A and B are shown apart, each in its own frame.
Chain A
Amino acid sequence: MATQQGSAVPAGHEEYYVPESSGMAISATIGLLLSIYGAASVLNDMTFGEPGAETNSWTIFICGLFWFVATLFMWFRTAIRENRAGMNSAQLKKSYVLGMFWFIFSEVMFFFVFFSVLFYVRVLVGPWLAGEGEAGAMNHLLWPGFEFDWPTMQTPQEAVGGAAGQPIANHGEFFSPHTSMAFGEVEHWWHWLPMWNTVILLSSSVTVHIAHLGLLENNRGKLNLWLGITVALASVFLALQVLEYHEAYTLYGLTLNSGIYGSTFFMLTGFHGFHVAMGMTMLLVQWLRSIRGGHFTADDHFGFEASSWYWHFVDVVWVMLFLFVYIF
């Protein structure tokens, strides 16, 4: 690996590390491309080879995904090794910090969209469809009988007697749930999973912080213990989330087809769940690095820090979810 040989470097500005050319990006591209090509083909039921047979594009998708994940693994391994070999200047480390920070910001914007969608349909669209304000004609000509409340327990389509009776063509069929996820709808409070999930996720933010303190105190045992607990909490959260989805589908009739309530519910919680899984993987990697490789020192532990920021971010999103999806 090449570092620049310079003289007379001004204070505060070190020699800059310019990595050697690298094949990782092109490899990642190949993986990404294969996986999206495969995914799109799966969704379109496309088959290679004999037409008409069940889609075999899964193979492409899974190979691509595997390739991509493997590349990412190599990539991060390289970055970690470079750092441990002392090749990263303070300036490069700061670039990594900036990169992670603004990456999280872009994630914030991603969730911002779905929350905005939620507010838009709840505050504006629903009442319009129900004929509020100037929209009287809309309701009595198109959706007679539709009344809006949130969570919507009856879609406009159902209000007019199902897909056959609706005034517009070909937009699919939407069946409302019989029970919503809101507090009070579900039989007993201790059976209300979102509350447990909130407790779990909030405490996991605390545990990851304790782990960080352990790291700063050079207390490896404390770090490993609390980080391990965090990962465990994360997996419990995910398990409960899966359970919740299962109940939604089997007990409450709440599905992706449940009109806008189901759509926003699964979109928000689903993407959140996906981010929890990513955050958990990141924390797990840091945990393994710590116990297996003894990585991290009190003043150099960006991998850990980045993962914990991410974790706090995921946590904040959950709090918003809890408030606006489950409670209000």
Chain B
Amino acid sequence: MCFKAKRLHRLALGPVLSLLGLTSRLAWSDDTKVNQINMPVSVTEVGASIYNLHMTIFWICVVIGVLVFGVMFYSIFAHRKSRGVTPSNFHESTTVEIAWTVVPFLILLVMAVPATTTLINVYDTTDADMDILITGYQWKWKYEYLDEAGENLTFFSNLSTSQEEIYNREAKGEHYLLEVDEPVVVPVNSKVRLLITANDVIHSWWVPELAVKRDAIPGFINETWFRAEREGIYRGQCAELCGRDHGFMPIVVNVVSQQKYTDWLSDKQAEAAEIKALMAQTFTLDDLVKRGKDVYARDCQLCHGANGEGGIGKAIAGSSIATGPVATHLDVGIYGVSGTSMQSFGKQLNDVDMAAVITYQRNAFGNNMGDMVQPLDVFNHKQGQ
């Protein structure tokens, strides 16, 4: 009830806002983003100049529109037959025709100047403080913090909104569809160069408040950059049709202080080191199943169902693969099934997680195989291929 009333209220407000607020600079807090009618004001310098360009062109068009439509509506009002006017017969005037060719041309010339300078700025990717390699996957993003020493930090970033919310079985959260499990973290006031590419089809990395949109093209790398001048969480989405879940691959960028960034980085590195240590370890069945359960929920459940009953993917419960030879099962998990949405997870999951999830699938949903896969097995399997 209350929700409905609020909606109606907002609906009424929309048009009014549109009259008053096109230049509204109030788009800061998450709350005012609702029914926002203009481009968000960016937190980068380039973004600000894009915003200004946008508004300049907008106002020029408004002025031209007012003039042109003004004349037209005056004519519609004054030169109508019902007012008893007789039509005149003129149909040429070289002077005005030249004028209305030249004047728009000059206006366009004026428009082109700020556009050119802004564009040159956008293209200047030199002197970056850090590089992030972004790879679009159907339908998630991979981020790789390029490190001179070759110790790249790598992780995937998935939509974290639940299927329950999407299918209206649960109330939608505040950041419905714009939330991920692992955000990108960057320090404030640093020039971040983005190297953008894709694994499968074309995607596009778009964060409005950072004023960055650049296509991710398989086999090619596009460069762009941003320098966020304000800490905060900035959200965006994939902006190139990339298949079924194109609408479900959001981007979240966490801009934090230099200190927090360094902390985050060392946490992540510690995590990576830990995984590395785990790789060499031998686990018990219980440990693997426990870990695998989480991995399954995060990466497989969407397609294979919470109880392994299948959905987009085939059922795992009773599957001949999950109850067949380990090697085949590993093959499917690591390399996927080409031509289906069962993609290759070999590069997305580390060997520990892969071992765990395969073990889990073999020992859950009534598949009581009792066998297990160790990280080292996964490693060896990959080498063998």
Contact = CB atoms under 8 A, between A and B. Distances in A.
Interface of A: 128-129, 134-135, 137-138, 141-143, 156, 164, 167-171
B51 to A, nearest CB: 27
Contact of A168 (B133, B218, B338, B343): B218
A137 B200 contact: no
B347 to A, nearest CB: 10
Contacts of B338: 170
A171 B218 contact: yes
A128 B223 contact: no
| The 4 residue pairs across chains A and B that have the minimum distance between CB atoms | A138-B221, A168-B218, A137-B221, A169-B200
Residue with the highest number of chain B CB atoms closer than 10 Å, among A142, A168, A169: A169
Given A134-B223, A135-B220, A135-B221, 4 more contacts: A128-B220, A129-B219, A167-B199, A171-B219
B385 interface: yes
7 contacts: A129-B219, A135-B221, A137-B195, A138-B220, A167-B197, A167-B219, A170-B338
A121 to B, nearest CB: 13
Contacts of A143: 219
B153 to A, nearest CB: 15
A142 B200 contact: no
Interface string B341-361: 001100000000000000000
Interface in B209-230: 218-221, 223
Chain B at the A interface: SS class: loop
Nearest to A138: B221
Contacts of B343: 169
A168 B200 contact: yes
A312 to B, nearest CB: 40
B378 interface: no
Contact of B344 (A167, A169, A171): A169
A168 B223 contact: no
Interface string B316-359: 00000000000000000000001100011000000000000000
A225 B200 CA distance: 58
B221 A168 contact: no
Nearest to B385: A164
Nearest to B198: A168
Nearest to A125: B220
B218 A141 contact: no
A141 B199 contact: no
Main secondary structure of the interface of A (DSSP, over half): loop
A137 B223 contact: yes
Which of B133, B197, B219, B343 lies at the interface centre, i.e. has the most chain A CB atoms within 10 A of its CB?
A: B219
Nearest to B344: A169
A24 to B, nearest CB: 42
Contacts of A142: 197, 219-221
Contacts of A169: 199-200, 343-344
A168 B133 CA distance: 14
Contacts of A138: 220-221
A168 B218 CA distance: 6
Contacts of B195: 137, 141
Interface string B183-215: 000000000000101111000000000000000
A134 B123 CA distance: 11
A8 B11 CA distance: 70
B221 A170 contact: no
Contacts of B218: 168, 171
A63 to B, nearest CB: 31
B182 to A, nearest CB: 21
B368 to A, nearest CB: 34
Nearest to B131: A137
A27 B287 CA distance: 71
B219 A168 contact: yes
Given A168-B198, A168-B200, A170-B338, A141 B220 contact: no
**Residue among B195, B218, B221, B338 with most chain A CB within 10 A:** B221
B280 to A, nearest CB: 25
A128 B222 CA distance: 11
A128 B218 CA distance: 14
A156 B219 contact: yes
Contacts of B200: 168-170
A23 B370 CA distance: 73
A12 to B, nearest CB: 30
Contacts of B220: 128-129, 135, 138, 142
Interface in B362-385: 385
A104 B88 CA distance: 48
A171 B200 CA distance: 8
A251 B117 CA distance: 55
Nearest to A134: B223
Contacts of B223: 134, 137
Contacts of A171: 218-219
Nearest to A157: B219
Nearest to A140: B221
A168 B221 CA distance: 12
A129 B199 CA distance: 16
A167 B219 CA distance: 7
A129 B220 CA distance: 7
A164 B384 CA distance: 12
B134 to A, nearest CB: 12
Nearest to A135: B221
A128 B195 CA distance: 15
A138 B219 CA distance: 8
A83 B345 CA distance: 69
A271 B343 CA distance: 37
B92 to A, nearest CB: 30
B334 to A, nearest CB: 12
A134 B125 CA distance: 10
A96 B219 CA distance: 48
Contacts of B199: 167-169
